Structures are given as C-alpha cells and as structure tokens.
Amino acid sequence: MRFGTRAWIVCLLVGCGFAPILHAAEVFRVGGPFSLPQGTDQHGKELAFSSKEYRTVIFDTPGDSGAAEPPKDPQWFQNNQALMVVNISGFSGFKRRIARSRMESKPFRILVMEDADLAARFPRKEGTLTVIRVDEQGLITAITFAAPGKELQEAVAAPAK
C-alpha cells in the first residue's frame, strides 16, 4: 500500500496537533528546558519560577519522600537560590487544606502544585526529594535525588557541576 500526498499531509497535521500534548507530558531531563507555569505559594500569593532568581528546584510529594525538616536558617532557600515545590495534586480536598495550613507556617516561599499532569513531569525516586539544577537560560544541568534533611541540604549547597 502506498501513501498518497493527502495521506502524508493528514499525518503531518495530526502529528503536529499532538506534538504539544506529547511535549507537555515529557519528563524533565538533563539538557532540556525547565519551566513552570505561574502558580501560588502557600499563602495564596502569585509565584513564578525564574531561572534568574532560582537555580535549584526541590520537588516534594508529601508522604512519598519521608519526613522533611526545613533548614534551621530561614534564609537558606534564598541564600541557595532554591525554590521548594510541593505536590499536593493527589490529595483530597480535606488533605489539601491540612497540607496548606502546615505550609503556611514555613518562613520561606513554597510553590504549591495542584496539577497532576505537571507533577508527572518530575522524575521521582521513592524516599527522596528531586533536586533539579538549572542554568540562567533555564536549561536543566543536573537532576539528583536526596533524602530529606542533611543529605538534601548538602546536595543543594554543593557547587553545581
């Protein structure tokens, strides 16, 4: 069976139509672009990711990564140009309210993620938090996994390779 010109055009149009959907579902990877749509922090204020302001993104899904304890220094995230992203997309409405109330007491800003499709783009490893480093152009330079606490703080504070 031979494809005619019309068949190729239809395939091309259908393929192009699905390309944005496929790209949106693609998992973040080293060398690829990192971007997040504007969201809200734990206080309901708008928060946008910028590779000029944040060079490290720490992704956490409570319950998947173990008990996380924030650094003792309230300026630690700012000093390390780190943005905490907490995924509550799989939580029920009740659990979301509890999670938000717990996050409100934190002295640093947290980007609260409620979009399951976007959360699925983050690579994960059970019992750890995902640490994504980006350069000024917004390209991913490293993806590592670290246990909450001291291991995470050392992974973020270590110089970028």
Please state the domain extents for the chain: 28-157
Q: At 27, give phi and psi (nearest 5°).
A: -75, 140
Confidence of residue 66 (pLDDT cuts 50, 70, 90): low
pTM: 0.79
Please say whether the dihedral angle defined by the alpha carbons of residues 135, 89, 64 and 81, taken in this order, is positive or negative.
positive
Q: Is the pLDDT of residue 16 over 50?
A: no
Alpha-carbon gap, residue 22 to 83, rounded angstroms: 26
Alpha-carbon gap, residue 122 to 115, rounded angstroms: 12
Q: What angle do CA 37, 43, 48 make, to 5 degrees?
A: 20
pLDDT of residue 21: 39
The CATH number assigned to the domain with range 28-157 reads 3.40.30.10
Token digits of residue 22: 């496929």
pLDDT of residue 48: 92
Confidence of residue 158 (pLDDT cuts 50, 70, 90): confident
Under 8 Å between Cβ of 112 and 41:
yes
